[in-house]
Amino acid sequence: GKNLTISARGTLSADIEDGAKVHLQVKYGLIRLINQEADLCETVKNVDLNCPLKKGEMELKKDVELPKEIPPGKYTVLADVFTKDGDKITCLTATVVFHR
């Protein structure tokens, strides 16, 4: 029932243009909850960014409202980003622990 602030900083090795994809996995402990591929340019709109994203340093910050019903435990988020041609641009790993 509170907000989670997501902060990320990194380097893109190539420009991200329309057609780029993100492969997203969310794990709860060892259990995979989400394993999907999505259009990256549609997804980055959720963090107030728009394509094209230029090669180089990048930083973002976003507040996300969380429901009260999240089971306590360790969650791991893995995201791999690919160009429209399938070349890997970058990856992201994040871990969040929710306590009772």
Q: What are phi and psi of 99, to 5 degrees?
A: -100, 160
What's the confidence (pLDDT) of residue 14?
79
pLDDT tens readout for residues 62-98: 898 988 888 999 999 999 989 889 998 888 899 999 8
Query: Mean of the per-residue pLDDT values for the chain?
Result: 90
Distance CA 3, CA 61 (A): 13
Tokens of residue 15, six digits = 């420009």
DSSP state of 82: E
Neighbours of 72 (CB within 10 A): 8
Give residue 16's pLDDT. Answer: 87
pLDDT, tens digit (0-9, with 9 covering 90-100), for 1-28: 788 898 888 888 778 899 999 999 999 9
pLDDT for 34-69, tens place per residue? 999 999 999 889 888 999 989 899 888 989 898 888
Gap between the Cα atoms of 75 and 35, Å rounded: 14
> Is this prediction's pTM over 0.75?
yes
Share of the chain above pLDDT 90, in %: 44
Retrieve residue 89's tokens.
């641009």
